A and B are shown apart, each in its own frame.
Chain A
Amino acid sequence: NAGVMQNPRHLVRRRGQEARLRCSPMKGHSHVYWYRQLPEEGLKFMVYLQKENIIDESGMPKERFSAEFPKEGPSILRIQQVVRGDSAAYFCASSPFEVNYGYTFGSGTRLTVV
């Protein structure tokens, strides 16, 4: 049973481009959580999704960022018109149901904006 899969592992974008980060949850998991880790900082919650629903997006910046978790396929975190400050590691985690214990994180996508 593969763990949480994130791709790409590394992504380089020029300022103004779009970044798409993908997260495939563990098999049977229908809940996905996205976190962002800025350099030298801890992880910050961004959004919590269930299949086809956004449950809590209180940590998402209001502009340029969006997330989805369609019925089929991976969860996508989309950043439009990237800026240097978006450079960070983006982690997702998944769970089979609503939990608040040690769900499994993916290996992350390191986004670098040049």
Chain B
Amino acid sequence: EDKVVQSPLSLVVHEGDTVTLNCSYEVTNFRSLLWYKQEKKAPTFLFMLTSSGIEKKSGRLSSILDKKELFSILNITATQTGDSAVYLCAVSPPGGTSYGKLTFGQGTILTVHP
């Protein structure tokens, strides 16, 4: 069975800190890894990673994938209270009828104190 494991499960930091969230996976067929941010409602898309070693950046957030070691990290620099959320990692299969079938990790709860 496909498996996605995130660590840590929860993290409490102060504004201005830098955090690193981890996601490891064991799946039968892999196409891409996705990161989402969930704030008590709909998960919102952050990044999709398909190739190893290519960093994706969006403001203070960045992410990278290692397909050899089967993991990804999500970095958030200069954290703000608005970064407090659950961060979800998911992997997707190559295609066909499984296209929409993402396998999610359990999430990392990030709390940023002022």
Contacts and interface: CB of A to CB of B under 8 A. Distances in A.
Given A98-B95, A101-B34, A102-B48, A45 B42 contact: no
Nearest to A33: B100
B46 to A, nearest CB: 8
Interface residues of A, number: 30
A12 interface: no
A82 B99 CA distance: 29
B7 interface: no
A99 interface: yes
B105 A42 contact: yes
Interface string B33-77: 010100001111110100000000000000000000000000000
B28 interface: no
B34 A56 contact: no
Contacts of B95: 98, 100
B102 interface: yes
Contacts of B32: 100-101
Contacts of A48: 97, 99-101
A38 to B, nearest CB: 10
Interface in A71-114: 91, 93, 95, 98-108
A31 B95 CA distance: 14
A45 B101 contact: yes
Given A43-B43, A100-B31, A100-B95, A31 B107 contact: no
Contacts of A91: 42-43
Contacts of A42: 4, 6, 88, 90, 104-107
A53 to B, nearest CB: 10
Interface of B: 4, 6, 31-32, 34, 36, 41-46, 48, 88, 90, 92-95, 97-107
